[in-house]
Amino acid sequence: MNYTLKKISELLNVDIIGDESYEVDQVSSLENATSSSVVFVSDKKFLKFLDNSKSKVVITTKALSKSCNLNVIISENPYLLFSKVSKLINKVDDLVYSVHESVCTSTRNLNKKITVEPNVVIGKNVQLGNNTFIGANCYIGDFVDIGENSYINPNVTIYNNVKIGNNIIVHSGTVIGSDGFGYANDEKSLVKIPQIGGVQIGNNVEIGSNTSIDRGTLDNTIIGNGVKIDNQIQIAHNVHIGDNTVIAGCAGIAGSAKIGKNCMIGGAAGIQGHIEICDNVKITGMAKVACDIKEAGVYSSGTPLMLNKKWLKNAARFKQLNELFLKYKK
């Protein structure tokens, strides 16, 4: 969709330097831009790449704009404004409401303002909010509630008793509400503990592909408002994740862990069960969290990459640390 810079200025309440009548139709990288593309620069080290870019419009800060010979959209957060411009130009078409004839449902009187693609199975007493999209081959269990303006991509499985808020995106392959990993030891065998809780997900949440969110053993697993969950993440039973927390790919969160608001969990991080992490904590990639975190800040663990021979020597020394410490203390 084409927009003049003046229209962008009006819609997004930003200042323009240059030709307000200039039209753009896409956002692009610096390398692949055309004359009708919008690019962004948030660091002065990237200004040099503007010389070889075909773009005539750049989003940048007021300070950096003095070094640009292009039409400029001013923002103190260029990346954020870039995302808003992209959303504006690449507006998703409104849903055409329909329920495919192959859909199998036990719920009477489904909402008329929804779109359900082929081969979807919907259980009994399901509530789907206005403008909700259910992709092909999804399974929606009994007593599931999904709010308005939600987009469930193809091949998602949602078990019974899952409550999902408004403005949700769930990507393909994700499973929500599967049994938690709970067993009691009966000497010679393990006895499965019934997982009778559910999953409760707030508003404005996005869940990546092939992620698993387990139902609670007794109470619900809870995902707060605004949480963003990447691909291939394991969230175990009874986990609580606070509002606006972001979790990167391949992280694992064990049962009954409680993570605060506005946290950032790096890729492949492992969080032990039954611990609490306070608000505003950043955990770097591949960190192992084995105890409570009671103070906001950045936390790391793990061994940086090194030559294998050096790592083997260091690993051998690590196993001797306690013995060496006791000798030194003595």
Residue numbers annotated as active site = 237
Contact 116, 100 (CB under 8 A): yes
Sequence-ordered list of residues with C-beta below 8 angstroms from that of 226, at least 6 positions apart, any chain: 202, 203, 204, 205, 243, 244
Contact 72, 5 (CB under 8 A): no
Phi, psi of 158 (to 5 degrees): -120, 115
Q: How far is CA 47 from CA 29, 72, 208, in A?
A: 13, 13, 33
Give the pair of three-digit tokens for residue 246: 């972001």
Distance CA 24, CA 8 (A): 10
| Chain Cα centroid distance, residue 109 | 32
Please give the full DSSP string across 168-182, using - where no structure is assigned.
-EE-TT-EEEEPP--
Q: How far is CA 221 from CA 35, 161, 209, in A?
A: 49, 11, 19
Distance CA 217, CA 239 (A): 10
- 308, amino acid identity: N
Kindly report the CA angle at 113 between 108 and 116, in degrees rounded to 5?
A: 70
